[in-house]
Amino acid sequence: MEAILVIGLLIGLILGGLWVHIAVGISALFYIVMLQGFGGLKSLGLVSWGAADSYTLSAIPLFVLMAEILLCSGLSSRLFTGLAPIVGRLPGGLFHTNVIGCGIFAAVSGGSASTAAAIGTVALPELGRLGYDKRLAAGSLAAGGTLGILIPPSITMIVYATFTETSIPKLFMAGVLPGILLIGLYLSYIFIRVKINPALAPSSETIEDKGLISSLFNVFPFVLLIGVVMGSIYGGIATPTEAGAIGAVGAMIIAGVFRSINLGVVQKSLHRTLVMSGNILFIVFVSMLFAYATALSGFGETLAVWLKEAGLSKIEFLLAALVFYAVLGCFMEGLGMIAITVPIIYPTLAAYGIDPIWFGIYMVILVELGQLTPPLGVILFVVASTWHKLKIEDVVMGTLPFFILIVLLIFILIRFPELALWLPNKMLS
């Protein structure tokens, strides 16, 4: 009853319009006082230090900085224009460029909103000019944007690892094959849809079609940066934090090669990194307080026992989580969903024999689903804001088929868990 009261307070504060991190903080403090009285607040110093003194979390601002340099220097537009002549001649044309561009940028951004914004600001106006169906254009971009938290490096995975003390490198590697499969599902759907109705992509014209060499020159630096960052992690050469630093320096070098960096770009990148990292780390901090209160109450262990006594099978538990996160995504952003629910759900995994690495990927995909769930699916609004001719209902309707494809990936992952676990098991360290 105490837990239900606190969760009710949390949901009420969020629905009332309060920022997620403030709502979580208030609920956590209320929970601690309810359990231990005001004397329990003496533990806040120790909990705060434990939340802040984390080498793992230092990777977040470095990966954010890498993405912001590429975004603020305008290199994301080079990625799109480089891909357009390469894949734009396929059935579906620049729709494929949306998905592949998001997939590549996801591998250097760590976040979904930045991925959708980076590609969308370039892609959507051009797709509209060429007469492409705006709903399919918006849907492919929104779905592609969600790849930002599945394809490593992923800030969401870092936060999950912080709460569960799982390996970040193994989580990163576990997201690679599901991410590639999801891209394949998106591209296959676009291919079939345009084959059936070619009017959806009427123009064969591509952006600045300057030839294969020029296109590869625009795309290759991104592929090289991804290879260096992820290769150093997979090979055990660098920790995620060190790889983030390598990536940030590499992004600056790429921007320098393209003569797209100056003092103004660096200042803007650092400012945006500071704001975004501060927001993310504050959510982690208040969620640590919530996790501490949850641990004091023993709610996680009680929930595990209750689920076991209720007779839910492993499949039923996973399907219940699917429905829960789809609903939760209606009024909460992805990082908040992870930070609030993981301390509650994590103790139940052992009872079902679920691998924490596998469940991390499963949960990230569920969060992807939540980001496409109206009315508060954050990616829907990001995409709608990138082009003035788009209405939010166009984005929602265009995203629906891709929503179904994400659900299909979830069932594939449940049936074939090796899809997420094969690469982590092959890591050198």
Alpha carbons 375 and 47: distance in angstroms, whole number: 34
| Backbone φ/ψ region at 111: left (φ over 0), alpha (ψ -120 to 50), beta | beta
More confident residue, 295 or 394: 394
Decide if pLDDT at 175 tops 90: yes
| In a domain? residue 21 | no
pLDDT tens for each residue of 283-326: 778 877 877 887 777 766 676 677 667 777 889 889 888 888 87
Q: How far apart are CA 142 and CA 102, in angstroms?
A: 9
How high is the pLDDT of residue 193? 92
Cα separation of 240 and 245, whole Å? 9
Is 10 among the domain residues? no
- The answer to whether the CB of 410 falls within 8 A of the CB of 366 is yes
* Parent domain of 326: 55-426
Cβ neighbours of residue 53 under 8 Å, at least 6 residues apart? Answer: none
Residue 226 lies in a domain: yes
Q: How many structural domains compose the chain?
A: 1
- Cα(279)–Cα(182) distance, integer angstroms: 29
| Residue 119, domain member (yes or no) | yes
69 in a domain, yes or no?
yes
Q: How does pLDDT run across 7-30, given as a tens digit for each residue?
A: 788 778 877 877 777 888 888 888
Contact 216, 407 (CB under 8 A): no
Q: What band does 418 get if pLDDT is binned at 50, 70 and 90?
A: very high
Written as six digits, the tokens of 43 are 């533990």
pLDDT classification of 101: cutoffs 50, 70, 90: confident
Please identify which residue in the block is written with the tokens 């501490």. 292
Residue 17 lies in a domain: no
| pLDDT of 250 | 92
The predicted model scores a pTM of 0.81
Assigned domain for 421 exists: yes
Q: Which positions ≥6 away from 150 have C-beta within 8 Å?
A: 106, 175, 178, 179, 182, 361, 364, 365, 368
Query: What is the pLDDT, as a whole number, of residue 152?
Result: 86
* 39-60: average pLDDT: 78
Give the CA angle between residues 222, 175, 244 to the nearest 5°: 50
Looking at this protein, which amino acid is placed at residue 75? L
Region 204-231: what's the mean pLDDT?
Answer: 74
Q: Taking the chain, what is the end-to-end CA distance rounded to the nearest angstrom?
A: 44
Rounded-to-integer distance, Cα 12 and Cα 10, Å: 5
User: Does 40 map to a domain?
Assistant: no
Nearest to 109 by CA among 85, 137, 144: 144
Q: How confident is the model at residue 203 (pLDDT cuts 50, 70, 90)?
A: low
